[in-house]
Amino acid sequence: MVKNAVGEDGPPCAGPGSTGAAASRPPHPARPARGASGTYAGDNEETNVMTTHAADEGRETGLSPELTAVPGDRDVDVAVAAARRVIASLLHVGGGSAAEMAEVAERLTAIADHLDLYAPSVRERMVDMWGGEGVTRHDPVTGPENAIAPPLSLVGRADGSVEGVVMLGMPYQGPPGHVHGGVSALLLDHTLGIANRWAGLSGMTAELTVRFHRPTPLFESLTVTGRQIAVEGRKIHARGSISAGGEVCVSAEGVFVAKRLPRPR
């Protein structure tokens, strides 16, 4: 549940999904095991203990373990970064441009067709996404393998909070020159979840209350923070904010339940 206290944009909308499965494809190449870079610990009861130990050790040393995947020079990260740039460029150039959009569409379609030839089934990809015990690489907020993610990188602080800095461009626009309220809610929901993991106990979102204090600007550095504030049995309470220039633009309070969905197998 999202409560819009000011009515900046109304409730966020879910985007369309896609299977991306091809009718026929060559044999899929063997993949390396996900290992420590698969998904973040705390996704189920078996890994929650590991999360607690990692968080305790990090807070004691003042250093943050890997809370979110950091884009690197691996081929998929570079390709997704290029796709992210294409999305922004298409929106920037618009429909009134002299650019040869028909040719652009043809080339992009060819790229998508090529990728579909090598794509596994949706089930196989889901199993691959959720294998291992590392941090997720596919989510729409921090995932370097997700072209709609900004992406936001979060680090844990010794005081128990998590923090990250991100700049959002035109693909995330709601009001003129400012961030869509649903995007702000998405960033804060995910950040509060990471804050719970950093505190040692995480779960699923049961309620998210979002307050819009002032419009959140595009093309400016935004500081996103979160921290766990209380645990009552299986209920976990967390609070966070998005700030620009030292002023809070959006704040959120969340209630989470210490429960996990089973991983695809």
Half-sphere exposure of 152 (CA within 13 A, CB side): 28
pLDDT digits (tens, 9 = 90+) for 40-52: 333 333 333 334 4
Eight-state DSSP code of residue 177: T
The pTM for the full model equals: 0.78
Percent of the chain with pLDDT over 90: 66
60 vs 103, residue with greater confidence = 103
Within the chain, how many helices (H) and strands (E) appear?
A: 5, 7
Q: Give the angle subtended at the CA of 83 by the CAs of 82 and 89, to the nearest 5°.
A: 90
pLDDT digits (tens, 9 = 90+) for 124-178: 999 999 987 668 899 999 999 999 999 999 999 999 999 999 999 999 999 999 9
What is Dmax (Cα atoms) for the chain? 60
- pLDDT of 53 higher than 50: no
Task: Kindly compute the dihedral angle of the four CA atoms of residues 198, 199, 203, 204, in this order, to the nearest 10 degrees.
Answer: -70
Of all helices (H) and strands (E), which one includes residue 189?
A: helix 181-199
The distance of Cα 42 from the centroid of its chain, to the nearest Å, equals: 16
Within 10 angstroms of residue 260's Cβ, the number of other Cβ atoms is 16
Helix (H, G, I), strand (E, B) or coil at 178: strand
Q: What number is the average pLDDT over the span 204-212?
A: 98
Length of the chain equals: 265
Burial class (CB in 10 A: 0-12, 13-18, 19+), 75: exposed
All domains of the chain in start order, with CATH: 2-11+36-257 (3.10.129.10)
Within 10 angstroms of residue 1's Cβ, the number of other Cβ atoms is 10
